[in-house]
Structure 1
Amino acid sequence: MSYAIIATWRMALEGIEEGVKLLKDNGSSADAIEKAVKMVEDFPYYKSVGYGGLPNENGEVELDAAFMDGDSLSIGAVAGIKDFKNPISIARKLSEQKFNCFLVGAGAEEYAHKNGFERKNMLTDRAIIHYKNRLKETVEKGLSPYDGHDTVGMVALDNSDSMASGTSTSGLFMKKRGRTGDSAVSGSGFYVDSEIGGATATGLGEDIMKGCSSYEIVRLMKEGYTPQQAADKAVSELNDLLIKRRKKAGDISVVCINNKGEFGVATNIENFSFVIATDKIEPIVYVCKNKNGKTTYRVATEEWLENYMNKRTAPLKLK
């Protein structure tokens, strides 16, 4: 028996620490995913997920989330949902539905209300300051408003050989109302099959959706590629294709595990981090870089970890 759980970005560390406790105690991969993602959603200093997520151009926090059961291939997803806590839990509930498993906007909110999910104003004072400062910078300095799109995505394997995946994000900062990226889209932001493995992505959803990156990684693992080989191949080929066809590729990063608990990671950026925990590895943060289509990673130093949290929790004031 073996278990594993992997996630995008350092922000998932505390959630992974709790999720792996469930896996150690023979808990399900689905429960581990939901618990771990909820911890990220509830932490107000992570400005790209859940409570404290940065708003769209109208000053509204619109959240996307998805859940997938690798045994049944059941999927649940919400997009553009407002004023509800923990969209990952709503997505998981939707995965139990045969029909209507992907709901958006007012329809997602109505479903959440009827099923007793907690209402909450997800726009924090801190996020408002970020929003106002960026508006000013956009006008005065000509900076792009599209910043802060670090989706939390996770894949888990439990001791019963069942797998699950989940994602959650507030999407592009200052996005158009109703904009939905890859995170809630099966095959792009996430995909998992307990007989093969699972993958999840983070970055610029508009580009990730052009390659269906998560499904492609699982497909490659089915063909015999190791998770690392599959991740590198999927990311580098999509990156090269986008540059060839469109002259530019947005940020693309992925993490994956197979049904043996072996993991892989790939990125086309310089500052991607991920968290992994298995029956052999205690929860640990790695920092990645890409060179010539191959991803390498190293354990995050204490200095790096300290700087990460200091930057995200530093006091803010209007500029």
Structure 2
Amino acid sequence: MSSRRVFIKKSFLAGSALLPIQLLHSCSEPDRVSSTEKFKPLILATWDHGMPANDRAWEVLSQTASVVDAVEEGVKVTELDMDNLSVGLQGLPDREGIPTLDASIMKGDGSCGSVAFLRQIKHPIAVARKVMDETPHVMLAGEGARQFAISQGFPLESEVLSPKAAKAFEEWKVNAQYKPIINIENHDTIGMIALGADGKMAGSCTTSGLAYKMHGRVGDSPIIGAGLFVDDEVGAATATGLGESIIRICGSFLIVELMRQGRTPQEACEEAVRRLIAKNRKDLDNLQVGFLAINKEGEYGAYALREGFTYAMHHAKEKALKNSTFAL
């Protein structure tokens, strides 16, 4: 099983210095952001794979000044990462052996699009962008989402599992458990939120979903307000972890609304985790969730249920991989 799918403390391997900014931030201890620190532009993304995704997003933002282009192109990097078994067609499949994908994208003016239970498409985030830009709808699912993707010129890819996913699936089938065990059969969604120099905000979220899920299961990532929410007047938030628990509290929307009421991003993320604990007490032993948030001033926060949630931060003076603070 890929180590990406275990919520443990991860170390940062420096070496992708594409811009003349500092990379020497330690990832050895949880990092609490001071409420006085403000950065604009600013990009945050979940997990270690957020570092290369942020690099690409920063490049696009620098070239185009389009924050929505940046968050789309940034997570495309992760969708193509063959070492990542939690995002893209190379990700671990459902219990039928089929990889199915979820994704969403949102702008701060309320425009949004998503796809759920999508098969055979390499870049679900790009299809979600097309739903936002080219249709009157917010979400397309299943065969309808696939047919829409084809109509927009996206080629169908093979459903043959990637070598790593195929090996893991065969191992799982030996002692297959109907109920997914978080921290063992895990998934590391990439969620990205960004604030441009002009104050515009956007976010994206893409995943292959919970490993060995029931066929047809949809998590929080494509659900606007659960895995992602963005409002230029307030801020943006994204989530990673067991989607069912995040959906139950409308996690990302909750965080943005708490910021609207005056909470800092850090305070809002911490309150969301407290709410999640209250709603999921029976399942806490095998549960992990992490939240990221940015407000319109350029403050940011991160908080997780348990130790081990890392996130990538990128602004004009620094890019770094950080360990989130946590509740349990």
Aligned to 1:65: 103
- The secondary structure found in structure 1 opposite 2:311 is strand
Structure 1 unaligned blocks of 5 or more: 293-319
Contact 1:23 1:159 in 2 (8 A): no
Report the Cα distance in structure 1 between the residues aligned to 2:180 and 2:271, rounded to whole angstroms.
33
- What amino acid does structure 2 have at the position aligned with 1:188? A
Report the Cα distance in structure 2 between the residues aligned to 1:247 and 1:118, rounded to whole angstroms.
40
Aligned to 2:324: 288
1:248 to 275, 284, 293: 284
Q: How many residues align?
A: 286
Aligned to 1:196: 234
- The secondary structure found in structure 1 opposite 2:248 is coil
Report the Cα distance in structure 2 between the residues aligned to 1:291 and 1:178, rounded to whole angstroms.
32
Matched, 1:270 2:307: yes
Deviates further, 130-139 or 107-116: 130-139
Aligned to 1:150: 188
Aligned to 1:15: 53
Report the Cα distance in structure 2 between the residues aligned to 1:121 and 1:276, rounded to whole angstroms.
34
Q: Write the mapping of 1:214-229 to structure 2, written as runs, cut at 5 A.
A: 214-229=252-267
Taking structure 1 as the reference length, the TM-score comes to: 0.85
- The secondary structure found in structure 1 opposite 2:303 is strand
- The secondary structure found in structure 2 opposite 1:209 is helix
- What amino acid does structure 1 have at the position aligned with 2:259? M
CA apart distance, 1:69: 1.1
RMSD of aligned Cα (Å): 2.0
Structure 1 residues 33, 143: CA separation in 2 closer, same or farther (over 3 Å shift)?
closer
Taking structure 2 as the reference length, the TM-score comes to: 0.82
Structure 1 residues 247, 107: CA separation in 2 closer, same or farther (over 3 Å shift)?
closer
Please identify runs of 4+ aligned residues in structure 1 that moved more than 6 A: none
Matched, 1:108 2:148: no
CA offset digits 1:282-312 (Å, max 9, x no partner): 22111234246xxxxxxxxxxxxxxxxxxxx
Matched, 1:37 2:60: no
Structure 2 unaligned blocks of 5 or more: 1-38
CA apart distance, 1:279: 2.5
Higher relative contact order at CA 8 Å, sep ≥6: structure 1 or structure 2?
2
Matched, 1:88 2:136: no
Report the Cα distance in structure 2 between the residues aligned to 1:99 and 1:284, rounded to whole angstroms.
38
Deviates further, 81-90 or 247-256: 247-256
Sequence identity, in percent?
35
Report the Cα distance in structure 2 between the residues aligned to 1:82 and 1:277, rounded to whole angstroms.
32
